[in-house]
Structure 1
Amino acid sequence: MYANTEKYGLILVPIFGLYYKSANKKFEANLNLPIIGDINYKTGKKTWVGMRFDGLGTTYTLKNQSYSANGAYVSKTSNELVSYLRFRLSKSIYLNTKVGYAVSRNYKVFDADDKIDLALSSFYFGDKRTQLNERFKDGAIFKMELFYRLHFD
Protein backbone atom coordinates (compact mmCIF):
# COMPACT_ATOMS: atom_id res chain seq x y z
CA MET A 1 0.00 0.00 0.00
CA TYR A 2 1.28 3.44 -0.97
CA ALA A 3 0.00 6.37 1.11
CA ASN A 4 1.01 9.99 0.85
CA THR A 5 -0.26 13.45 1.64
CA GLU A 6 -0.19 15.43 -1.59
CA LYS A 7 -1.02 19.14 -1.92
CA TYR A 8 -4.65 18.22 -2.66
CA GLY A 9 -5.00 15.80 0.27
CA LEU A 10 -4.49 12.12 1.12
CA ILE A 11 -3.87 9.52 -1.59
CA LEU A 12 -3.99 5.74 -1.04
CA VAL A 13 -2.84 3.31 -3.74
CA PRO A 14 -3.06 -0.47 -3.29
CA ILE A 15 -0.02 -2.04 -4.99
CA PHE A 16 0.00 -5.53 -6.44
CA GLY A 17 3.55 -6.84 -6.89
CA LEU A 18 5.08 -9.70 -8.82
CA TYR A 19 8.70 -10.47 -9.64
CA TYR A 20 9.70 -13.28 -11.99
CA LYS A 21 13.00 -14.31 -13.57
CA SER A 22 13.13 -17.24 -15.99
CA ALA A 23 15.34 -20.25 -15.31
CA ASN A 24 17.76 -19.24 -18.08
CA LYS A 25 17.82 -15.66 -16.60
CA LYS A 26 16.95 -14.08 -19.96
CA PHE A 27 13.36 -12.99 -19.22
CA GLU A 28 12.51 -10.76 -16.25
CA ALA A 29 9.21 -9.23 -15.09
CA ASN A 30 9.05 -6.72 -12.24
CA LEU A 31 5.47 -5.52 -11.68
CA ASN A 32 4.26 -3.14 -8.97
CA LEU A 33 0.87 -2.25 -10.42
CA PRO A 34 -0.74 0.22 -10.92
CA ILE A 35 2.42 2.30 -10.40
CA ILE A 36 5.25 0.59 -12.33
CA GLY A 37 5.61 -2.42 -14.60
CA ASP A 38 8.77 -3.55 -16.36
CA ILE A 39 9.37 -6.62 -18.51
CA ASN A 40 12.57 -7.29 -20.43
CA TYR A 41 14.42 -9.96 -22.36
CA LYS A 42 18.21 -10.32 -22.51
CA THR A 43 19.16 -10.46 -26.19
CA GLY A 44 22.96 -10.55 -25.82
CA LYS A 45 25.71 -10.47 -23.20
CA LYS A 46 25.22 -6.73 -22.62
CA THR A 47 21.86 -5.89 -24.23
CA TRP A 48 18.17 -6.12 -23.31
CA VAL A 49 14.91 -5.19 -24.98
CA GLY A 50 11.93 -4.34 -22.81
CA MET A 51 8.71 -2.49 -22.08
CA ARG A 52 7.97 -0.28 -19.10
CA PHE A 53 4.87 1.39 -17.68
CA ASP A 54 5.15 4.35 -15.26
CA GLY A 55 1.94 5.66 -13.74
CA LEU A 56 2.79 7.54 -10.54
CA GLY A 57 1.75 11.16 -10.14
CA THR A 58 2.76 13.86 -7.69
CA THR A 59 2.14 17.49 -6.73
CA TYR A 60 4.39 20.54 -6.50
CA THR A 61 3.94 23.97 -4.94
CA LEU A 62 4.11 26.85 -7.41
CA LYS A 63 5.78 29.98 -6.07
CA ASN A 64 5.80 33.47 -7.57
CA GLN A 65 2.98 32.63 -9.99
CA SER A 66 -0.02 34.77 -10.86
CA TYR A 67 -2.59 31.95 -10.74
CA SER A 68 -3.98 32.83 -7.31
CA ALA A 69 -3.49 35.26 -4.44
CA ASN A 70 -3.37 32.26 -2.05
CA GLY A 71 -0.66 30.46 -4.03
CA ALA A 72 -1.10 27.43 -6.25
CA TYR A 73 0.07 23.88 -6.83
CA VAL A 74 0.44 21.67 -9.87
CA SER A 75 -0.84 18.09 -9.90
CA LYS A 76 1.18 15.95 -12.35
CA THR A 77 -0.25 12.71 -13.73
CA SER A 78 1.16 10.87 -16.71
CA ASN A 79 0.78 7.23 -17.65
CA GLU A 80 3.81 6.45 -19.77
CA LEU A 81 4.22 3.26 -21.81
CA VAL A 82 7.63 2.89 -23.45
CA SER A 83 9.73 0.28 -25.16
CA TYR A 84 13.46 0.38 -24.54
CA LEU A 85 16.87 -0.96 -25.42
CA ARG A 86 19.24 -1.35 -22.47
CA PHE A 87 23.00 -1.49 -22.81
CA ARG A 88 25.44 -2.48 -20.04
CA LEU A 89 28.41 -0.13 -20.32
CA SER A 90 30.30 -1.57 -17.32
CA LYS A 91 29.52 -3.88 -14.39
CA SER A 92 27.28 -1.26 -12.78
CA ILE A 93 26.56 1.42 -15.41
CA TYR A 94 23.68 1.00 -17.86
CA LEU A 95 22.12 3.09 -20.62
CA ASN A 96 18.41 2.93 -21.48
CA THR A 97 17.10 4.38 -24.74
CA LYS A 98 13.31 4.73 -24.58
CA VAL A 99 10.55 5.56 -27.03
CA GLY A 100 6.87 5.52 -26.17
CA TYR A 101 3.68 7.45 -25.53
CA ALA A 102 2.19 9.37 -22.60
CA VAL A 103 -1.52 8.74 -22.00
CA SER A 104 -3.70 10.93 -19.75
CA ARG A 105 -0.84 13.42 -19.41
CA ASN A 106 -2.03 16.15 -17.04
CA TYR A 107 -0.25 19.03 -15.38
CA LYS A 108 -3.21 20.69 -13.69
CA VAL A 109 -2.80 23.91 -11.68
CA PHE A 110 -5.10 24.53 -8.71
CA ASP A 111 -5.46 27.18 -6.02
CA ALA A 112 -3.49 26.21 -2.89
CA ASP A 113 -6.76 25.99 -0.90
CA ASP A 114 -8.48 23.72 -3.46
CA LYS A 115 -8.52 20.22 -1.87
CA ILE A 116 -10.26 16.86 -2.26
CA ASP A 117 -11.62 14.49 0.39
CA LEU A 118 -9.59 11.41 -0.64
CA ALA A 119 -7.78 9.92 -3.64
CA LEU A 120 -7.88 6.15 -4.01
CA SER A 121 -5.45 5.34 -6.82
CA SER A 122 -6.78 7.40 -9.76
CA PHE A 123 -10.25 7.98 -8.26
CA TYR A 124 -10.75 11.35 -6.53
CA PHE A 125 -13.58 11.66 -3.99
CA GLY A 126 -15.01 15.07 -3.11
CA ASP A 127 -13.16 16.71 -6.01
CA LYS A 128 -14.72 20.13 -6.57
CA ARG A 129 -11.45 21.80 -7.59
CA THR A 130 -11.27 24.35 -10.40
CA GLN A 131 -8.40 23.88 -12.84
CA LEU A 132 -6.59 27.18 -13.50
CA ASN A 133 -4.67 26.23 -16.68
CA GLU A 134 -5.29 24.52 -20.02
CA ARG A 135 -4.94 20.75 -20.42
CA PHE A 136 -1.73 19.27 -21.83
CA LYS A 137 -2.05 16.93 -24.79
CA ASP A 138 -0.94 13.30 -24.82
CA GLY A 139 2.15 12.70 -26.87
CA ALA A 140 5.30 10.84 -27.78
CA ILE A 141 8.16 10.28 -25.33
CA PHE A 142 11.84 9.97 -26.14
CA LYS A 143 14.28 9.42 -23.26
CA MET A 144 17.83 8.39 -22.56
CA GLU A 145 18.72 7.28 -19.04
CA LEU A 146 22.06 6.51 -17.52
CA PHE A 147 21.82 4.57 -14.27
CA TYR A 148 24.02 2.86 -11.71
CA ARG A 149 23.09 -0.57 -10.38
CA LEU A 150 24.34 -1.75 -6.98
CA HIS A 151 25.53 -5.35 -6.65
CA PHE A 152 25.30 -7.29 -3.39
CA ASP A 153 27.24 -10.56 -3.53
Structure 2
Amino acid sequence: MKVLLFLLLPIAACSQNYADLVKLSYAYSFDSKFENTSESTTVNTLEAGLIFPKVINQKYTFISGLNFDFNNLMLYSDTVRTNLYSTTLRVGIVSNFSEKWSCTIVLLPKVASDYSSITSDDFYIGGFAILKKKKSNNLFYRYGLYTSSEAFGMTFTPILGFYFVSPNDKFEADISLPVAANLNYNYGKVSLGFDYFGIERSYNLEPENSLNTYVEQNRWEFAGYLQFNKLYKNVLLRLKLGYAHNEHKVFENGDKVNFKFIAFAFGDDRTRLNPKMNGTLFAKVEFIYRIYFD
Protein backbone atom coordinates (compact mmCIF):
# COMPACT_ATOMS: atom_id res chain seq x y z
CA MET A 1 0.00 0.00 0.00
CA LYS A 2 2.95 2.29 -0.16
CA VAL A 3 1.73 3.80 -3.43
CA LEU A 4 -1.24 5.29 -1.58
CA LEU A 5 1.06 8.03 -0.36
CA PHE A 6 0.62 9.52 -3.84
CA LEU A 7 -3.18 9.43 -3.93
CA LEU A 8 -3.35 13.13 -3.11
CA LEU A 9 -2.21 14.30 -6.53
CA PRO A 10 -3.34 16.63 -7.87
CA ILE A 11 -5.04 18.60 -5.11
CA ALA A 12 -4.26 22.20 -5.96
CA ALA A 13 -7.97 22.95 -5.60
CA CYS A 14 -7.30 23.00 -1.87
CA SER A 15 -4.82 25.34 -0.20
CA GLN A 16 -2.00 22.85 -0.67
CA ASN A 17 0.12 24.48 -3.35
CA TYR A 18 2.67 21.72 -3.97
CA ALA A 19 3.09 18.17 -5.19
CA ASP A 20 5.79 15.63 -4.27
CA LEU A 21 6.94 14.05 -7.55
CA VAL A 22 9.88 12.03 -6.26
CA LYS A 23 10.44 10.30 -2.93
CA LEU A 24 13.53 8.33 -1.96
CA SER A 25 14.03 6.84 1.49
CA TYR A 26 16.22 4.47 3.46
CA ALA A 27 15.17 2.98 6.81
CA TYR A 28 17.13 0.92 9.31
CA SER A 29 15.22 -1.04 11.92
CA PHE A 30 17.30 -2.06 14.90
CA ASP A 31 17.29 -5.57 16.34
CA SER A 32 13.85 -7.12 15.93
CA LYS A 33 13.79 -10.14 18.21
CA PHE A 34 12.40 -13.51 17.18
CA GLU A 35 10.00 -14.71 19.87
CA ASN A 36 11.13 -17.66 22.02
CA THR A 37 14.70 -17.40 20.74
CA SER A 38 17.79 -15.39 21.57
CA GLU A 39 18.16 -14.35 17.92
CA SER A 40 17.17 -11.10 16.27
CA THR A 41 17.37 -9.41 12.89
CA THR A 42 17.88 -5.91 11.60
CA VAL A 43 15.76 -4.73 8.66
CA ASN A 44 17.12 -2.56 5.84
CA THR A 45 14.49 -0.90 3.66
CA LEU A 46 14.98 1.18 0.52
CA GLU A 47 11.98 2.80 -1.17
CA ALA A 48 11.67 4.99 -4.26
CA GLY A 49 8.59 6.54 -5.82
CA LEU A 50 8.04 8.58 -8.98
CA ILE A 51 4.83 10.15 -10.20
CA PHE A 52 4.11 11.96 -13.46
CA PRO A 53 0.82 13.89 -13.58
CA LYS A 54 -0.18 15.12 -17.03
CA VAL A 55 -2.99 17.65 -17.27
CA ILE A 56 -5.25 16.81 -20.21
CA ASN A 57 -7.77 19.61 -19.69
CA GLN A 58 -9.63 21.31 -16.84
CA LYS A 59 -11.58 18.12 -16.09
CA TYR A 60 -9.00 15.34 -16.49
CA THR A 61 -5.43 14.66 -15.38
CA PHE A 62 -3.56 11.49 -16.38
CA ILE A 63 -1.33 9.91 -13.72
CA SER A 64 1.56 7.53 -14.33
CA GLY A 65 4.39 6.49 -12.08
CA LEU A 66 6.55 3.78 -10.58
CA ASN A 67 7.29 2.53 -7.08
CA PHE A 68 10.15 0.30 -6.01
CA ASP A 69 10.93 -1.15 -2.59
CA PHE A 70 13.69 -3.38 -1.28
CA ASN A 71 13.88 -5.13 2.09
CA ASN A 72 16.78 -7.11 3.52
CA LEU A 73 16.36 -9.17 6.69
CA MET A 74 16.46 -12.64 8.25
CA LEU A 75 13.14 -14.47 7.96
CA TYR A 76 14.23 -17.23 10.36
CA SER A 77 16.43 -17.10 13.42
CA ASP A 78 20.09 -17.96 12.86
CA THR A 79 19.90 -18.15 9.05
CA VAL A 80 20.97 -16.24 5.95
CA ARG A 81 19.41 -12.91 5.07
CA THR A 82 16.73 -12.63 2.39
CA ASN A 83 16.17 -9.87 -0.17
CA LEU A 84 12.58 -8.90 -0.97
CA TYR A 85 11.72 -6.67 -3.93
CA SER A 86 8.58 -5.07 -5.28
CA THR A 87 8.09 -2.97 -8.40
CA THR A 88 4.70 -1.35 -8.95
CA LEU A 89 3.45 0.46 -12.01
CA ARG A 90 0.86 3.19 -11.47
CA VAL A 91 -1.59 4.23 -14.20
CA GLY A 92 -4.72 6.26 -13.55
CA ILE A 93 -6.80 9.34 -14.05
CA VAL A 94 -8.18 12.20 -11.97
CA SER A 95 -11.64 13.50 -12.92
CA ASN A 96 -12.92 16.84 -11.66
CA PHE A 97 -16.71 16.66 -11.61
CA SER A 98 -17.28 20.11 -10.19
CA GLU A 99 -15.64 22.76 -8.05
CA LYS A 100 -16.25 20.57 -4.98
CA TRP A 101 -16.01 16.96 -6.18
CA SER A 102 -13.23 14.97 -7.86
CA CYS A 103 -12.32 11.31 -8.23
CA THR A 104 -8.99 9.49 -8.61
CA ILE A 105 -8.86 5.96 -10.06
CA VAL A 106 -5.50 4.17 -10.31
CA LEU A 107 -4.51 0.68 -11.46
CA LEU A 108 -1.52 -0.92 -9.68
CA PRO A 109 0.06 -3.99 -11.31
CA LYS A 110 3.24 -5.19 -9.59
CA VAL A 111 5.97 -7.81 -9.44
CA ALA A 112 6.91 -8.81 -5.88
CA SER A 113 9.31 -11.57 -4.88
CA ASP A 114 12.94 -12.28 -4.05
CA TYR A 115 13.60 -11.77 -7.80
CA SER A 116 15.63 -15.00 -7.97
CA SER A 117 13.58 -15.89 -11.03
CA ILE A 118 10.46 -14.13 -12.27
CA THR A 119 7.41 -16.37 -12.73
CA SER A 120 3.66 -15.81 -13.00
CA ASP A 121 3.44 -16.30 -9.20
CA ASP A 122 5.35 -13.02 -8.77
CA PHE A 123 2.67 -10.93 -10.50
CA TYR A 124 -0.15 -9.23 -8.58
CA ILE A 125 -2.64 -6.53 -9.44
CA GLY A 126 -4.46 -3.96 -7.37
CA GLY A 127 -5.90 -0.50 -7.51
CA PHE A 128 -7.68 2.23 -5.62
CA ALA A 129 -10.44 4.76 -6.11
CA ILE A 130 -10.61 7.98 -4.08
CA LEU A 131 -13.51 10.43 -4.00
CA LYS A 132 -12.64 13.92 -2.74
CA LYS A 133 -14.96 16.66 -1.54
CA LYS A 134 -13.75 20.21 -1.13
CA LYS A 135 -15.24 21.71 2.02
CA SER A 136 -13.34 25.01 1.89
CA ASN A 137 -10.08 26.42 0.59
CA ASN A 138 -8.37 24.94 3.65
CA LEU A 139 -10.14 21.59 4.00
CA PHE A 140 -11.24 18.64 1.91
CA TYR A 141 -12.45 15.13 2.73
CA ARG A 142 -11.55 11.87 1.00
CA TYR A 143 -13.40 8.55 0.79
CA GLY A 144 -12.03 5.54 -1.02
CA LEU A 145 -11.20 1.87 -1.36
CA TYR A 146 -7.93 0.05 -1.99
CA THR A 147 -7.88 -3.58 -3.15
CA SER A 148 -5.16 -5.96 -4.26
CA SER A 149 -4.53 -9.58 -5.09
CA GLU A 150 -1.75 -10.93 -2.89
CA ALA A 151 -0.09 -14.29 -2.29
CA PHE A 152 -2.32 -14.71 0.77
CA GLY A 153 -5.53 -13.79 -1.12
CA MET A 154 -7.56 -10.65 -1.80
CA THR A 155 -7.31 -7.66 0.50
CA PHE A 156 -9.72 -4.72 0.81
CA THR A 157 -9.04 -1.48 2.67
CA PRO A 158 -11.55 1.38 2.91
CA ILE A 159 -9.92 4.82 3.16
CA LEU A 160 -11.33 7.71 5.15
CA GLY A 161 -9.52 10.96 5.69
CA PHE A 162 -9.08 14.65 5.19
CA TYR A 163 -6.52 17.30 4.34
CA PHE A 164 -6.35 20.56 6.32
CA VAL A 165 -3.94 23.48 6.25
CA SER A 166 -4.18 26.46 8.56
CA PRO A 167 -4.91 29.92 7.04
CA ASN A 168 -1.29 30.97 7.68
CA ASP A 169 0.03 27.79 5.96
CA LYS A 170 1.98 26.81 9.08
CA PHE A 171 0.05 23.76 10.34
CA GLU A 172 -0.80 20.87 8.03
CA ALA A 173 -2.78 17.67 8.69
CA ASP A 174 -2.94 14.98 6.02
CA ILE A 175 -4.97 11.93 7.11
CA SER A 176 -5.77 8.78 5.10
CA LEU A 177 -6.71 6.11 7.64
CA PRO A 178 -5.86 3.29 8.09
CA VAL A 179 -2.99 3.79 5.61
CA ALA A 180 -1.24 7.01 6.60
CA ALA A 181 -1.39 10.11 8.78
CA ASN A 182 0.88 13.13 8.87
CA LEU A 183 0.87 16.20 11.13
CA ASN A 184 3.48 18.93 10.84
CA TYR A 185 4.17 22.55 11.72
CA ASN A 186 6.29 24.77 9.46
CA TYR A 187 8.83 27.06 11.13
CA GLY A 188 10.26 28.35 7.85
CA LYS A 189 13.53 26.61 7.10
CA VAL A 190 12.48 23.53 9.09
CA SER A 191 9.28 21.71 9.97
CA LEU A 192 8.52 19.41 12.89
CA GLY A 193 6.09 16.59 12.40
CA PHE A 194 4.68 13.21 13.33
CA ASP A 195 3.52 10.54 10.94
CA TYR A 196 2.07 7.05 10.82
CA PHE A 197 2.29 4.64 7.93
CA GLY A 198 0.97 1.09 7.50
CA ILE A 199 2.03 -1.54 4.96
CA GLU A 200 0.49 -4.90 4.08
CA ARG A 201 1.86 -6.76 1.07
CA SER A 202 3.37 -10.08 -0.02
CA TYR A 203 6.42 -11.48 -1.82
CA ASN A 204 6.81 -14.80 -3.59
CA LEU A 205 9.94 -16.77 -2.68
CA GLU A 206 12.14 -19.07 -4.74
CA PRO A 207 11.36 -22.73 -3.92
CA GLU A 208 13.67 -24.17 -1.27
CA ASN A 209 13.92 -27.88 -0.54
CA SER A 210 10.87 -28.46 -2.78
CA LEU A 211 8.80 -26.07 -0.63
CA ASN A 212 7.13 -23.10 -2.33
CA THR A 213 6.61 -20.22 0.10
CA TYR A 214 5.71 -16.56 0.29
CA VAL A 215 6.20 -13.71 2.76
CA GLU A 216 3.34 -11.64 4.14
CA GLN A 217 4.70 -8.29 5.29
CA ASN A 218 2.84 -6.30 7.94
CA ARG A 219 4.65 -3.15 9.04
CA TRP A 220 3.33 -0.16 10.95
CA GLU A 221 5.57 2.85 11.54
CA PHE A 222 5.10 5.64 14.09
CA ALA A 223 7.72 8.38 13.92
CA GLY A 224 8.56 11.95 14.75
CA TYR A 225 10.58 13.86 12.19
CA LEU A 226 12.59 16.97 11.44
CA GLN A 227 12.21 18.30 7.91
CA PHE A 228 14.64 20.68 6.24
CA ASN A 229 12.47 22.66 3.82
CA LYS A 230 15.25 24.35 1.84
CA LEU A 231 17.96 21.75 1.47
CA TYR A 232 18.56 22.47 -2.22
CA LYS A 233 16.08 24.22 -4.51
CA ASN A 234 13.05 21.88 -4.57
CA VAL A 235 14.67 19.11 -2.51
CA LEU A 236 13.55 18.45 1.07
CA LEU A 237 15.33 16.30 3.64
CA ARG A 238 13.32 14.50 6.33
CA LEU A 239 14.95 12.73 9.30
CA LYS A 240 12.77 10.29 11.24
CA LEU A 241 13.04 8.33 14.44
CA GLY A 242 10.31 6.08 15.74
CA TYR A 243 8.89 2.64 16.44
CA ALA A 244 8.13 0.01 13.79
CA HIS A 245 6.02 -3.09 14.18
CA ASN A 246 7.88 -5.60 12.00
CA GLU A 247 6.17 -8.78 10.86
CA HIS A 248 7.35 -10.88 7.94
CA LYS A 249 5.32 -14.08 8.06
CA VAL A 250 6.30 -17.06 5.93
CA PHE A 251 3.61 -19.43 4.60
CA GLU A 252 3.45 -22.20 2.05
CA ASN A 253 2.09 -21.18 -1.36
CA GLY A 254 -1.59 -22.02 -1.63
CA ASP A 255 -2.07 -21.51 2.11
CA LYS A 256 -4.42 -18.53 1.90
CA VAL A 257 -7.17 -16.63 3.68
CA ASN A 258 -10.65 -16.19 2.22
CA PHE A 259 -10.07 -12.43 2.12
CA LYS A 260 -8.71 -9.60 4.26
CA PHE A 261 -10.61 -6.48 5.28
CA ILE A 262 -8.20 -3.88 6.67
CA ALA A 263 -6.14 -5.96 9.14
CA PHE A 264 -8.81 -8.60 9.74
CA ALA A 265 -8.31 -11.96 8.00
CA PHE A 266 -11.38 -14.10 7.32
CA GLY A 267 -10.96 -17.85 6.98
CA ASP A 268 -7.37 -17.75 8.21
CA ASP A 269 -6.27 -21.25 9.23
CA ARG A 270 -2.78 -20.97 7.78
CA THR A 271 0.31 -22.53 9.35
CA ARG A 272 3.10 -20.05 9.92
CA LEU A 273 6.57 -21.40 9.13
CA ASN A 274 8.83 -18.85 10.84
CA PRO A 275 8.94 -17.32 14.36
CA LYS A 276 7.05 -14.15 15.24
CA MET A 277 9.08 -10.92 15.11
CA ASN A 278 8.83 -8.18 17.72
CA GLY A 279 8.68 -4.47 16.98
CA THR A 280 11.71 -2.26 17.30
CA LEU A 281 13.06 1.27 17.02
CA PHE A 282 13.92 2.50 13.55
CA ALA A 283 15.63 5.47 11.90
CA LYS A 284 14.76 6.77 8.46
CA VAL A 285 16.01 9.40 6.04
CA GLU A 286 13.84 10.69 3.18
CA PHE A 287 14.60 12.90 0.20
CA ILE A 288 11.63 14.56 -1.48
CA TYR A 289 11.50 16.50 -4.75
CA ARG A 290 8.61 18.96 -4.44
CA ILE A 291 7.18 21.32 -7.04
CA TYR A 292 5.06 24.33 -6.16
CA PHE A 293 2.05 25.54 -8.12
CA ASP A 294 2.37 29.20 -7.12
Answer yes or no: same fold by TM over 0.5: yes
Shorter-chain TM band: over 0.9
**Percent identity of the aligned residues?**
36
Q: CA RMSD in A?
A: 1.3
Alignment of 1:122-133 (within 5 A): 122-133=263-274
The match for 1:7 is 151
- Name the CA distance, whole Å, in 1 between partners of 2:279 and 2:197: 14
Distance 2:258 2:211 in 1: 20
- Confirm whether residue 62 of structure 1 aligns to residue 237 of structure 2: no
AA aligned opposite 1:148: Y
Give the aligned partner of residue 21 of structure 1.
165
Moved more, 24-33 or 87-96: 87-96
Is 2:194 aligned against 1:51? yes
Aligned residue for 1:150, secondary structure, equals strand
Q: Please give the alpha-carbon distance, in whole angstroms, between the structure 2 residues aligned to 1:71 and 1:147.
A: 38
Map 1:1-153 onto structure 2 (within 5 A). 1-43=145-187, 45-66=188-209, 69-88=210-229, 89-103=231-245, 105-153=246-294
Q: Partners of 1:91 and 1:21 in 2: how far apart?
A: 23
How far is 1:152 from its partner? 3.4
1:64 Cα deviation from its structure 2 partner: 4.5
Q: Report the Cα offset of residue 151 of structure 1.
A: 3.0
- TM-score, normalised with respect to structure 1: 0.92
- Gaps spanning 5+ residues in structure 2: where? 1-144
> TM-score if structure 2 supplies the norm length?
0.49
Matched residue SS, 1:127? coil
Provide Cα deviations, 1:67-120, integer angstroms capped at 9, x if missing partner: xx34111001011100000002123101110000013x2100010111110100
